[in-house]
Amino acid sequence: MRQPSIPTAVKRDAPQQTRLRGAGGSKRTGGPALGDAGDRITALLHRIVARASANANEEFRPYGFNVQGARVLIALLDAGPTRVGELSYALAIDLSTLSHLLRRFSREHLVIRSRVDVDNRSVSVALTAKGRRIARKCKTARARHEAMLLKGFIAPDIRSVRDMLRRICANVEGTPPDARTPRRARAEARSIAVS
């Protein structure tokens, strides 16, 4: 069936089509067929996370876990012994999934779980020596992946992206933005939300 012709003015103003490489070949996002669906903030965030996770999962697979497991090990490396509930909240991993992952890590001698002295209902988790070795490798890989994501960005842009993502997280989590957020940016965000 023949597609109706698009007037020249509409063609010129239509969003550019972006070709994406995937397992199934090329796909188009943006453009007249999808409208702005491929260029929405939510779609862009999903694409970034999906592709970055797929790349990272390949690197972490030899250790027997995915990017989620690597995030847990890195968080424990950075924070030291941590309560499971705090780890769940900080990493945005539901408690059931995290508990399953920690049981597996415990069987593999990557972590040690223990009851918290002051609250016998809480469980604290810490890395073993083997867990620390693997967590350091994961942290190095994470730095490589982040450098790839931010290739071509200068330091002020990286700070801006990080600040904007924190504000988006605050919006999603229902917490107020950081007080350091510039008044002008907060006002702009309000005006966009209203329109």
Q: What is the pLDDT of residue 18?
A: 42
Q: What is the pLDDT of residue 187?
A: 55
Q: What is the pLDDT of residue 143?
A: 95
Q: Are 76 and 131 in contact (CB under 8 A)?
A: yes
Q: At what angle do helices 129-149 and 67-79 cross, to 10 degrees?
A: 110
Determine the structural domain holding residue 165 and report its residue range. Answer: 150-190
Burial of residue 69, with CB atoms counted within 10 A of its CB: 0-12 exposed, 13-18 middle, 19 or more buried: buried
Q: Are 29 and 17 in contact (CB under 8 A)?
A: yes
Whether residues 161 and 70 fall in one domain: no
Whether residues 176 and 120 fall in one domain: no
Q: What is the pLDDT of residue 168?
A: 92
CATH number, domain with residue 109: 1.10.10.10
Q: What is the pLDDT of residue 33?
A: 61
Whether residues 118 and 145 fall in one domain: yes
Whether residues 181 and 94 fall in one domain: no
Neighbours of 130 (CB within 10 A): 12
Whether 4 maps to a domain, the answer reads: no
SS3 call for 123:
strand
Burial of residue 70, with CB atoms counted within 10 A of its CB: 0-12 exposed, 13-18 middle, 19 or more buried: buried
Beta strands (DSSP E) in the chain are 18-22, 25-29, 82-83, 111-116, 119-127
Report mean pLDDT in 10-residue bins for the chain, 195 residues: 40 40 45 71 93 93 94 97 94 94 97 83 93 97 94 96 93 69 53 49
* Short-list 73, 67, 90, CA closest to 129: 73
Whether 11 maps to a domain, the answer reads: no
Whether 9 maps to a domain, the answer reads: no
